[in-house]
Amino acid sequence: MIPKYCFKDDDGQLWFKESLTPSVGNSLRIDNLVYADDSDLQHLLLFDNETHGRLLAIDGLVQVSLSDEFIYHEMVSHVPLFAHGSVKSVLVVGGGDGGAMRELLRHTGVERIVLAEIDGEVIDFSRKWLPTVSNGSFDDARVEIKIVDGVEYIREGDETFDLIIIDSSDPVGPSAVLFTEEFYRDCHKRLAPGGMLVTQSGLAAIHSDVVENTSLYFSRIFKHHGFYAITVPTFSGGVMTLGFATDDAEKMSPAAGSIESRFEASGLDTRYYSPAVHRGAFALPRYLEALLKR
């Protein structure tokens, strides 16, 4: 039986077919099928590929690849932490693979992380099959795991955080609610003074409407907002954007030398992130600038 989202070519080789939109897709050869089944909420597919190593796809969309997951996880975590300079509490919505928490926990100043993940099976799955991604982060004493709907948790709670990271899947299906103005307003209420919101905002060339709408929503809610760009080879479709919003001007544009001095003091050894990459990521291509000015 051929698993969901897969097909065999004329030579009998099994392939994974990712459909990013009705007209755009990507195929990856499955050299070793590790797991394919439904959880209570979504379909999980795990396989090995010669180029990208082990990959996890959820509901037909690639979420993690061992070859390049460090790019996304370093940038979604270190950019806001070094921009802020004194983050103590973090809320991560989604992020069931544990990669973002792995990077957040490398900062000794972070005292508390709440992980709000809707599907507990994703956490169990990641612990078993992708242990290097979380690297023990689920068991860190500073982490509190809540198996909850992130939208409801943010809307109904009152604890505030220095940083909220929306580490969601693509803006389709169940995750679509995480890209709405109402949700961002609820996030704003849960930020401590000087707090920041970082969101996964889709592939700009494919999900241009998401980038445009997010910019519009942020402009109505926050005093300062913008986007920074990363390129992750496994996420086919070009530049991925990460939304960045705060009411604190200095957090949006840290003073010259501040990021550099914070990074040096941290002693972190990173594979992708650097202060230069941090600042350069906010220099967007002109087509993206034009999109945000519509």
Quick check: 177 pLDDT over 70? yes
CATH of 6-65, one of 3.40.50.460, 3.30.70.1230, 2.30.140.10, 1.10.10.10: 2.30.140.10
Give the pLDDT of residue 1: 85
Question: What ranges do the domains of the chain cover?
Answer: 6-65, 69-292
For the beta carbon of residue 33, count every other beta carbon within 10 angstroms. 14
Q: Which residues pair with 226 in a beta bridge?
A: 244
Catalytic residue check, 167: yes
Query: Given the structure tokens 């230069």, which residue do they identify?
Result: 276
pLDDT at 2: 92
CATH 3.60.20.10 assigned to domain 69-292? The reply is no
φ, ψ of residue 273 to 5 degrees: the values are -65, 140
Segment 7-49, tens digit of pLDDT: 999 999 999 999 888 888 899 999 999 999 998 888 999 999 9
Query: At 183, phi and psi to the nearest 5?
Result: -65, -45
Residue 164 near residue 198, CB atoms below 8 Å: yes
Average pLDDT for 146-153: 95
pLDDT of residue 294: 62
pLDDT(123) > 90: yes
**Mean pLDDT, the chain, integer:** 93
Residue 173's pLDDT is: 61
Q: Which of 167, 170, 248, 269 is catalytic?
A: 167
